[in-house]
């Protein structure tokens, strides 16, 4: 090769390198003179649809990326000049195209908002959203897409969708606020994330993290047809929400039209439902700690209503199946449906909706019934096995209903204690105060086991019997229900034994005279043929209308009163040979009847836990 050609080649390469070096060196000068602040603001406005103001002077950086650094940037509504900005950012970093800059144009694909403040408004749906822009490329693209969707809602022509470029928007150290009376209230802090949307007709995704109500949350959203979705058409959507108290995900189809809907598979999980209720400030009664809860279901939601089909619910590792229906009536959530469990803790399940235990915010024993004004509930429950406190139930059929100040939980049928159980718990909010009503019917049950579960270990006949309890009282506090309750108690017992009573020793001590504790004659049992108890309850005081125990040789009767509040006893009684008529004192313990032949009379005083016996007249020998 001739040396002249070599020299010309070297010169050509050198000139090219020099031109490139001069161009790179000139970029900041070109940018600072031709890509002025107003041009960048105009491009951002045309892109976003908001009025963009840049108070600080742009700074142009070449390395490691060619970008403009803008300070004190605001995005505001064009039509509301007096309203606070929709977005304020301490700094905005815009990645620019070097070739476009050399030609005097502005073209960028990435914008980073550093320490932005985003203002949102509460919408009619209850969600917080920023004001929508009235123009801009995004708005125009959505308007065009609406026409495409309207032309064929079922199968829009995706080839007619706008293909304007969008790019990436990143945000760091941001916060979300809502403004009322000129004062900002922070909703979300430490906001970080990004939106990836290469072009209007391409797929898009959003990833964001932040702190909401003291917990770190993460939101992930993506759609293969975001423009169709924003235009009111149906598009595939995946959504994931993660926080320490709860996780939620959805995968299916969604529409944001006037007839918006969701149709897909949803999952919900929480290590503690109580913590979720407290954190979400749902207004329900988070009184008892329900453990881990998870729900997996097919969801079809539209127009304020959601149907959950093929629903799997797991409470404290106890799975159930069923269907649920969520809707809103008069601003209240309405939950209805049926759920079937293999095993269920009734107390913990109901504590989410009814005040079956004192709440943390209420005073000791106070009943918070405000839940009844915040939710409408109608659930049908069934369980092969269930727990109600210490009571083990089987084959349970139950209902839970809450509506307009009234809350009712009924067990219409259940097996327990070798018999059947029916019960009802009712909270009724009235102008004069909340009334609470308790009903229990235990039929053909093992009375010994039933009494042990109820905490009654003394002088309860062991055998088969039926027990009925009806109580009604003011519902200000749990103690007030029992201390001021009105109602009735009745029980019938078949053949069995009366444990905790050595009757011969009792009669011997009664003959000897002098006070003695019932515990002194408590080491024994008495075979009985049957027993019957009837009592009326008024203001927490039970008056025995009838109390008889029939044994093979003896008949024992009692009359008088027993108080719940003071646990006091004032009873008179007698032991007679079978076949003798019982002469009771008509419920007046202080005036026992005259002693009959072969009848031993006594007085029972003290309290439930330590009763004492005072002989009145000996008449029957224990020998």
| pLDDT per residue as tens digits for the range 200-220 | 899 999 999 999 999 999 999
pLDDT (0 to 100) of residue 290: 61
pLDDT (0 to 100) of residue 454: 78
- Record the pTM: 0.71
Spatial CA neighbour of 211 closest among 189, 186, 242: 189
Please tell me which residue, 278 or 504, carries the higher pLDDT value. Answer: 504
The burial class, CB within 10 Å (0-12 / 13-18 / 19+), for 185 is: exposed
Q: pLDDT confidence of 16, banded at 50, 70, 90?
A: very low
Claim to verify: residue 613 and residue 501 sit in the same structural domain:
yes
Does residue 11 carry a pLDDT above 50? no
Q: Is residue 52 part of a domain?
A: no
Q: How many domains does the chain have?
A: 2
Does residue 445 carry a pLDDT above 90? yes
User: Does residue 122 contact residue 130 with C-beta atoms inside 8 Å?
Assistant: no
What is the chain's mean pLDDT, rounded? 81
Residue 269 phi, psi (nearest 5): -150, 140
pLDDT (0 to 100) of residue 133: 83
Axis-axis angle for helices 136-151, 37-48 (nearest 10): 20
Does residue 180 carry a pLDDT above 60? yes
Q: DSSP letter at 487? A: E
Using a pLDDT cut of 70, give the percent of the chain over it. Answer: 80
Does residue 490 carry a pLDDT above 60? yes
pLDDT (0 to 100) of residue 135: 80
Work out whether the CA dihedral 251, 253, 257, 261 comes out positive or negative: negative
Q: Is residue 573 part of a domain?
A: yes
Kindly state the average pLDDT of the residues 493-503.
Answer: 90
Please tell me which residue, 547 or 452, carries the higher pLDDT value. Answer: 547
Does residue 506 carry a pLDDT above 60? yes
Spatial CA neighbour of 88 closest among 117, 115, 46, 120: 117
Please tell me which residue, 132 or 85, carries the higher pLDDT value. Answer: 85
Kindly state the average pLDDT of the residues 154-182.
Answer: 88
pLDDT digits (tens, 9 = 90+) for 415-438: 999 999 999 988 887 777 778 889
Q: Is residue 433 part of a domain?
A: no
Residue 200 phi, psi (nearest 5): -60, -30
Claim to verify: residue 282 and residue 399 sit in the same structural domain:
yes
Query: What is the residue-wise DSSP string for 362-414?
Result: S-TTB---GGGGT-EEEEEEEEEEEEETTEEEEEEEEEEEEETTEEEEEEEEE
In the three-class reduction of DSSP (H, G, I as helix; E, B as strand; rest coil), residue 27 is classed as helix
pLDDT (0 to 100) of residue 359: 43
In the three-class reduction of DSSP (H, G, I as helix; E, B as strand; rest coil), residue 303 is classed as coil
Does residue 560 carry a pLDDT above 90? yes
Q: CA-CA distance, 42 to 470, in Å (whole number)? A: 77
Q: pLDDT confidence of 587, banded at 50, 70, 90?
A: very low
Q: 466 CB contacts (<8 Å, ≥6 apart)?
A: 419, 441, 442, 443, 444, 445, 491, 492
Residue 246 phi, psi (nearest 5): -160, 150
Please tell me which residue, 475 or 243, carries the higher pLDDT value. Answer: 243
Does residue 248 carry a pLDDT above 70? yes
Does residue 177 carry a pLDDT above 90? yes
Claim to verify: residue 279 and residue 400 sit in the same structural domain:
yes
Pick the range with the lowest mean pLDDT from 171-180, 346-355, 550-559.
346-355
The H or E element that residue 556 is part of is strand 554-563
538: number of Cβ within 10 Å = 13
Does residue 187 carry a pLDDT above 80? yes
Q: Is residue 53 part of a domain?
A: no
Tokens read off for 619: 């008449």
Kindly state the average pLDDT of the residues 51-60.
Answer: 82
Query: What Å distances lie between residue 283 and 201, 354, 400, 532, CA to CA?
Result: 42, 12, 18, 46
Q: pLDDT confidence of 608, banded at 50, 70, 90?
A: confident
**The 3-state secondary structure of 419-458, one letter per residue:** EEEEEEEEEEEECCEEEEEEEEEEEEEEHHHHHHHCCCCC
Does residue 289 carry a pLDDT above 90? no
Give the number of residues written for the chain: 623
Kindly state the average pLDDT of the residues 559-588.
Answer: 75
pLDDT (0 to 100) of residue 45: 85
C-alpha distance across the termini of the chain, in Å: 142
pLDDT (0 to 100) of residue 24: 45
Kindly state the average pLDDT of the residues 299-314.
Answer: 88
Query: What Å distances lie between residue 594 and 236, 585, 619, CA to CA?
Result: 89, 9, 11
Q: CA-CA distance, 337 to 377, in Å (whole number)? A: 9
Domain span at residue 542 reads: 495-617
Please tell me which residue, 209 or 84, carries the higher pLDDT value. Answer: 209
Spatial CA neighbour of 596 closest among 608, 585, 586, 607: 585
Looking only at the bridges linking them, the beta strands covering 165-180 and 108-122 are parallel
Claim to verify: residue 400 and residue 511 sit in the same structural domain:
no
pLDDT (0 to 100) of residue 20: 43
Q: CA-CA distance, 364 to 472, in Å (whole number)? A: 20
- Domain end (from 377, 406, 435): 406
Residue 474 phi, psi (nearest 5): -65, 145
Pick the range with the lowest mean pLDDT from 61-75, 166-180, 245-259.
61-75
Dihedral Cα 201, 202, 207, 212, nearest 10 deg: 20
Q: Is residue 229 part of a domain?
A: no
pLDDT (0 to 100) of residue 23: 44
Q: 436 CB contacts (<8 Å, ≥6 apart)?
A: 367, 425, 426, 427, 428, 472, 473, 474, 475, 481
Q: Is residue 593 part of a domain?
A: yes
Q: CA-CA distance, 136 to 113, in Å (whole number)? A: 19
pLDDT digits (tens, 9 = 90+) for 369-383: 566 666 788 889 999
Q: Is residue 324 part of a domain?
A: yes
Using left for φ > 0, alpha for ψ between -120 and 50, and beta otherwise, residue 539 falls in left
pLDDT (0 to 100) of residue 579: 64
Does residue 315 carry a pLDDT above 70? yes
Q: pLDDT confidence of 464, banded at 50, 70, 90?
A: very high
pLDDT (0 to 100) of residue 414: 94
Q: Is residue 250 part of a domain?
A: no
In the three-class reduction of DSSP (H, G, I as helix; E, B as strand; rest coil), residue 610 is classed as coil
Does residue 411 carry a pLDDT above 70? yes
Tokens read off for 529: 């043929």
pLDDT (0 to 100) of residue 30: 46
Does residue 12 carry a pLDDT above 70? no
């Amino acid at each position: 090769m001739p040396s002249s050609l070599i020299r010309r080649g070297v010169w050509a390469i050198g000139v090219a390198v020099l031109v490139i070096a001069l161009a790179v060196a000139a970029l900041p000068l070109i940018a600072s003179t031709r890509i002025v602040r107003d041009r960048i603001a105009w491009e951002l406005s045309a892109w976003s649809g908001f009025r963009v103001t840049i108070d600080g002077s742009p700074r142009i950086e070449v390395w490691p990326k060619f970008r403009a650094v803008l300070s004190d940037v605001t995005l505001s509504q064009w039509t509301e000049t007096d309203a606070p900005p929709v977005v304020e950012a301490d700094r905005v970093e815009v990645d620019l195209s070097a070739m476009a800059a050399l030609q005097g144009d502005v073209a960028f694909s990435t914008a980073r908002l550093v320490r932005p403040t985003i203002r949102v408004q509460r919408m009619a749906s209850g969600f917080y959203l920023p004001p929508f822009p009235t123009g801009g490329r995004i708005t125009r693209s959505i308007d065009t897409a609406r026409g495409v969707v309207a032309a064929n809602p079922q199968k829009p022509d995706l080839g007619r969708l706008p293909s304007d470029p969008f790019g990436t928007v990143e945000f760091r150290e941001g916060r979300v606020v809502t403004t009322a009376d000129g004062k900002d209230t922070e909703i979300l802090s430490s906001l970080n994330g990004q939106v990836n949307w290469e072009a209007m007709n391409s797929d898009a995704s959003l990833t964001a993290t932040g702190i909401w109500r003291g917990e770190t949350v993460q939101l992930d959203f993506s759609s293969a047809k975001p423009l169709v979705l924003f235009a009111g058409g149906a598009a595939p959507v995946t959504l994931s929400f993660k926080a320490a108290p709860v996780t939620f995900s959805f995968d299916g189809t969604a529409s944001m039209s006037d007839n918006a809907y969701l149709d897909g598979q949803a999952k919900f999980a929480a290590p503690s439902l109580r913590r979720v209720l407290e954190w979400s400030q749902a207004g329900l009664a988070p009184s008892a700690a329900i453990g881990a809860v998870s729900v997996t279901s097919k969801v079809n939601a539209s127009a304020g209503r959601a149907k959950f089909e093929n629903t799997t619910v797991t409470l404290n590792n106890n799975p159930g199946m069923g269907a649920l229906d969520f809707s809103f009536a008069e601003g209240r959530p309405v939950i209805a449906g049926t759920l079937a469990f293999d095993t269920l803790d009734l107390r913990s399940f109901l504590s989410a909706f009814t005040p079956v235990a004192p709440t943390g915010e209420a005073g000791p024993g106070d009943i918070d019934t405000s839940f009844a004004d915040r939710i409408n509930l109608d659930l049908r429950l069934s369980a092969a096995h269930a727990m109600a406190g210490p009571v083990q139930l089987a084959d349970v059929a139950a209902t839970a209903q809450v509506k307009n100040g009234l809350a009712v939980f009924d067990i219409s049928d259940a097996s327990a204690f070798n018999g059947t159980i029916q019960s009802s718990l009712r909270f009724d909010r009235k102008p004069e105060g909340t009334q609470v009503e308790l009903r229990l019917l235990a039929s053909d049950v093992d009375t010994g086991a039933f009494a042990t579960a109820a905490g009654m270990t003394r002088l309860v006949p062991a055998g088969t019997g039926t027990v009925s309890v009806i109580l009604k009282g003011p519902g200000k506090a749990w103690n007030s229900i029992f201390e001021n309750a009105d109602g009735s108690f009745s029980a019938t017992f078949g053949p069995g034994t009366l444990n905790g009573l050595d009757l011969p020793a009792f009669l011997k001590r009664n003959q000897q005279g002098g006070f003695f504790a019932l515990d002194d004659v408590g080491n024994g049992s008495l075979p009985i043929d049957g027993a019957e108890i009837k009592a009326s309850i008024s203001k927490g005081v039970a008056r025995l209308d009838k109390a008889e125990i029939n044994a093979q040789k003896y008949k024992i009767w009692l009359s008088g009163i027993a108080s719940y509040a003071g646990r006091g006893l004032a009873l008179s009684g007698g032991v007679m040979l079978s076949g003798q008529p019982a002469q009771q004192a008509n419920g007046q313990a202080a005036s026992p009847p005259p002693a009959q032949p072969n009848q031993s009379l006594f007085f029972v005083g003290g309290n439930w836990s330590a009763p004492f016996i005072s002989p009145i007249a000996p008449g029957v020998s224990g020998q």
